[in-house]
Structure 1
Amino acid sequence: MNYLKLQFARVSQLGSNAFPLRPNFKLPPLPFLKKLPQFKGFKQLTPKEYKKIASDLYEKLLNYSTPRFSLKEQMFFARRLAFLINAGVPLIEGLHIMRAQARRGGQARMLDHVLKDISNGQSLSKSFGKFPRVFGNFTISILKIGESSGTLSICLNYLADELKKRQILSRKVISAFIYPAVITLATIGITAFLMLYLFPKIIPIFTSLNMELPLTTRIVMAASVFMQHWGLLVMVGVVLVGIATTILLRRSQRVHFYFDHALVRTPLMGTIVRYYNIANTTRTLGLLLRSGVKLSDALPIVADTTKNLVYRAQLHELGEVVNRGEKISTHLIRETRYFPPIVGHMIAVGERSGTLSETLVYLSELYEHEVDEFTKNLSTLVEPALMIVMGVVVGFIAVSIITPIYGITQNLHP
């Protein structure tokens, strides 16, 4: 199936909005494919193989073209489906109801595919497993556990609760930086207004008097002239650098890894990132272990749900530790750059007492509280500092304007 491998390799390089798909998506005609130069030497495709290729490729393309379900969307999906199942609604009928409520075309097409799979006798987790990019491996694993134990509605409610906790934690981290970002943008906006609009109107008055200007005024004048001539170019350059950085982070795993590593090691910001990732990974791992998933199987699932590549690499390394027959606490106690010592020691206690899942859940609650407290303290410390910086910048410009005016009035009234 060389053709299938080639197509999958190409599709794996596509972004989430590669191109729209229609339900009647078809591969090019078989005779046309056989004439293409890149397929010379490949074995002849039988109609059965061709049909399998078309089906698998469509699923792959649908996975990459369907927008990801946000945490909020996954939470509502799980909660509503659990409610319908508890109310006695058959699974396929409940999915039809969810399909009718789908707002985006990509999600509707994906649910159409899921409904088709369920009608053909496939399990919900197996059908969702064809779209790991849309739902995530964690959601798929919880569904599989619920199906195997006959507690699908309970697992869906538990999944919704866990996704809600993750969403709340993300909001806390984001909210900690909203106010500083607003103050920073306000400072830049006020400075730009003074330098590009107000100060250029005053400069001719100062220069026409042939008087020696204070140092602060000369500095602001030079900055104003620079911004008038090069400000637009600088702004375009900043935007281009931002776009290039975003593209590199998405396309290059190496760049993304070093960026995440720098973020983790950054003062203040790095502390929040560490606490946030520890809270998420310990909660997810504890939930999977509590649900009966083996530690060696749970660690790769948790790694796939972790966006920070540094912690993803650490989780994969923990998986290798488990496969060697070692305890994860021994690695965590040594690796204090990303995990505080208390994490390794608490997990060691859980391993000895046979309560590893409960210990992990306790650690997640501990670090959720740490994130909450740290973000509150950070806002308390950063807000006054930013106000001082804003006052210094605006005050410096105001003094540079007022000082020459005061000198002019002194010369007029000897």
Structure 2
Amino acid sequence: MPLFKYIELNSAGRKKRGTIDAASIAEARRTLRAAKVHLLEINSAQKDIHRQLGAGTRTISFRRIKQRDVSVATRQLATLLHAGIPLVPALSALVEQLSAQPLEKVFAPIRDRVNEGIPLAKAMAEYPGVFSEVFVSMIRAGEATGTLENVLLRLAEIAERRTNLTNKVKAAMAYPAFMAIVGLSVIAFIFTYVIPSITKLFLEMNRQLPWPTVMLMRISNFIQDYFWLLIIMLIVIIIAPIFWSKTTKGRRAWDRIKLKLPLFGNLNRKIAISRFSRTLAVLLASGLSIVETLDLSRQVVGNTVISDVVEEAKNAISHGAGIAESFRRSGVFPPIVIHMISAGEKSGGIEEGLTNVADAFDNDVEVTVKALTSLLEPVMIVLLGIVVGFIVLAILMPIFDINRAIV
């Protein structure tokens, strides 16, 4: 529930500050008036969240807080609770451990709120830029069932697995990307600086040049004449899709394209399904209902196409349909996922089945990434070789013609 801050005029005629939880600012006003509070001002506390996090005049942005740091702090808190330390002292120890780090400015107020008697989930919900709705819901379930320590460990594991998988994909694609950048840079340098110098020499010969040389010279002249236009076009080509994908229509279209891309479409699908399956398994293990877990899990998929399918499945399940059958109708989830979920439904171990699905797809993603890397590297080498070979051929052909004429 949102938090609001207010200023009242007490019986002594002095201003007094306070906070109140309410569904809306109107409800907060009604509650305060019913309590005969002489209200002067009321605002959302979320507007001042950066000031609450600041140290002196220094403020902190949630963008500086990485999810990797949140997962580490989550695991540390779980370890402290496992050692038998009560929640408030455990939070105090965590704040001390996080000294001078951005997260310290998050967990310190949370500790204070919990010390006032506010549930941990409610305190964390005041920082939506740090803790997702899935995170807060699992903490709430853990507090309700007395399994907070286990829930924290599961949350840390989910974040760590996601981070590790993302890092592996980035690391695998780093070398091909580096090769592409270096190759394009070298080619651009050749066309911009090297070929113009050689072109002058060829033009002074007053001889008919071979067509590869003529083509090379025309390409070089075009790049020189329209260099800045090409740079602007390149920037537009890169930036325009980014802004377009931020719109609702563009996001859906881009997510649909990502699932149909050659080579990468299947990889994107596996990553999304793995993320969804693992989150759903952990939420179910936390004691939440299947409808509630589906509603939360769809938020972490990262693809609106699959998210819409999960929403449709949730509606079907709420009307009595089975999980596996609902996913089968979508046509988005692979058969192996459907069969493993179906087996889990029959055996009563749906959480284990979903975890197995996530593990299998994580391994499959790693294998697929390695295969793509092995394929991309030689393809890029061949393409660069063809371009460089054409340039060398175009330069050498006139020289060979001159040698033949001299001989």
Indicate the TM-score class for this superposition, using the shorter chain for normalisation. Answer: 0.7 to 0.9
**1:52 shift after superposition:** 4.5
1:208 aligns with 2:204: yes
**1:307 shift after superposition:** 1.9
* Superimposed CA distance per residue, residues 340-381 of structure 1 (whole angstroms, 9 cap, x where no aligned partner): 122223222222232211111111111111111111111111
1:340 aligns with 2:330: no
Contact preservation (8 Å) 2:275, 2:300: no
TM-score normalised by the chain length of structure 1? 0.82
Looking at structure 2, the residues matched to 74 and 191 of structure 1 have their Cα atoms a distance apart, in angstroms, of 43
> What residue is the counterpart of 2:359 in the other structure?
365
Looking at structure 1, the residues matched to 267 and 362 of structure 2 have their Cα atoms a distance apart, in angstroms, of 10
> What residue is the counterpart of 2:263 in the other structure?
268
What amino acid sits opposite 1:139 in the alignment? Answer: F
> What residue is the counterpart of 1:249 in the other structure?
245
Looking at structure 2, the residues matched to 50 and 262 of structure 1 have their Cα atoms a distance apart, in angstroms, of 53
What are structure 2's unaligned runs of at least 5 residues? 5-16, 18-29, 54-59
Deviates more, 1:270-279 or 1:401-410: 401-410
Looking at structure 2, the residues matched to 219 and 190 of structure 1 have their Cα atoms a distance apart, in angstroms, of 19
Distance 1:234 1:128, change over 3 A: same
SS in structure 2 opposite 1:53? strand
Contact preservation (8 Å) 1:68, 1:134: no
1:221 aligns with 2:185: no
Please identify which structure carries the higher strand content: 2
* Superimposed CA distance per residue, residues 10-39 of structure 1 (whole angstroms, 9 cap, x where no aligned partner): xxxxxxxxxxxxxxxx9xxxxxxxxxxxxx
Residue of 76, 94, 99 corresponding to 1:80:
76
Residue of 288, 296, 318 corresponding to 1:323:
318
Looking at structure 1, the residues matched to 380 and 40 of structure 2 have their Cα atoms a distance apart, in angstroms, of 63
> What residue is the counterpart of 1:394 in the other structure?
388
1:279 aligns with 2:279: no
What amino acid sits opposite 2:291 in the alignment? Answer: S
* Superimposed CA distance per residue, residues 311-344 of structure 1 (whole angstroms, 9 cap, x where no aligned partner): 22222222212222211222322222x2112222
Contact preservation (8 Å) 1:285, 1:302: yes
Looking at structure 2, the residues matched to 102 and 48 of structure 1 have their Cα atoms a distance apart, in angstroms, of 40
Task: Output aligned runs, 1:28-43, within 5 Å.
Answer: none
**1:175 shift after superposition:** 2.8
Residue of 81, 89, 96 corresponding to 2:92:
96
**1:62 shift after superposition:** 7.5
Distance 1:205 1:156, change over 3 A: same
What amino acid sits opposite 1:256 in the alignment? Answer: R
**1:387 shift after superposition:** 0.8
Contact preservation (8 Å) 1:136, 1:305: no
**1:108 shift after superposition:** 4.2
Looking at structure 1, the residues matched to 121 and 138 of structure 2 have their Cα atoms a distance apart, in angstroms, of 8
Contact preservation (8 Å) 1:75, 1:159: yes
Distance 1:62 1:281, change over 3 A: farther
What amino acid sits opposite 2:110 in the alignment? Answer: V
What amino acid sits opposite 1:110 in the alignment? Answer: V
TM-score normalised by the chain length of structure 2? 0.83
> What residue is the counterpart of 2:377 in the other structure?
383
> What residue is the counterpart of 1:55 in the other structure?
45
Looking at structure 1, the residues matched to 402 and 40 of structure 2 have their Cα atoms a distance apart, in angstroms, of 87
Structure ranking higher on relative contact order (CA contacts 8 Å, 6+ apart): 1
Looking at structure 2, the residues matched to 351 and 363 of structure 1 have their Cα atoms a distance apart, in angstroms, of 14
Residue of 275, 290, 293 corresponding to 1:295:
290
Structure 1 residue ranges (4+ consecutive) displaced by more than 4 angstroms after TM superposition: 45-52, 59-65, 102-105
Distance 1:54 1:282, change over 3 A: closer
**1:391 shift after superposition:** 0.7
Contact preservation (8 Å) 2:176, 2:376: yes
Contact preservation (8 Å) 1:281, 1:302: yes
Contact preservation (8 Å) 2:154, 2:282: no
Looking at structure 2, the residues matched to 116 and 243 of structure 1 have their Cα atoms a distance apart, in angstroms, of 43
> What residue is the counterpart of 1:313 in the other structure?
308
1:118 aligns with 2:114: yes
Looking at structure 1, the residues matched to 367 and 210 of structure 2 have their Cα atoms a distance apart, in angstroms, of 46
1:176 aligns with 2:183: no
Contact preservation (8 Å) 2:71, 2:156: yes
1:188 aligns with 2:178: no
SS in structure 1 opposite 2:121? helix
**1:50 shift after superposition:** 5.6
Looking at structure 2, the residues matched to 320 and 52 of structure 1 have their Cα atoms a distance apart, in angstroms, of 39
Aligned length: 370
Deviates more, 1:54-63 or 1:151-160: 54-63
Looking at structure 2, the residues matched to 234 and 62 of structure 1 have their Cα atoms a distance apart, in angstroms, of 47
Deviates more, 1:92-101 or 1:310-319: 92-101
Deviates more, 1:173-182 or 1:59-68: 59-68
- Identity over aligned pairs, percent: 28
Looking at structure 1, the residues matched to 242 and 100 of structure 2 have their Cα atoms a distance apart, in angstroms, of 28
SS in structure 1 opposite 2:43? helix
What amino acid sits opposite 1:55 in the alignment? Answer: A
* Superimposed CA distance per residue, residues 152-183 of structure 1 (whole angstroms, 9 cap, x where no aligned partner): 22322222122211112222332332222112
Looking at structure 1, the residues matched to 114 and 317 of structure 2 have their Cα atoms a distance apart, in angstroms, of 36
1:163 aligns with 2:159: yes
> What residue is the counterpart of 2:397 in the other structure?
403
> What residue is the counterpart of 1:258 in the other structure?
253
SS in structure 2 opposite 1:130? coil
Distance 1:48 1:85, change over 3 A: farther
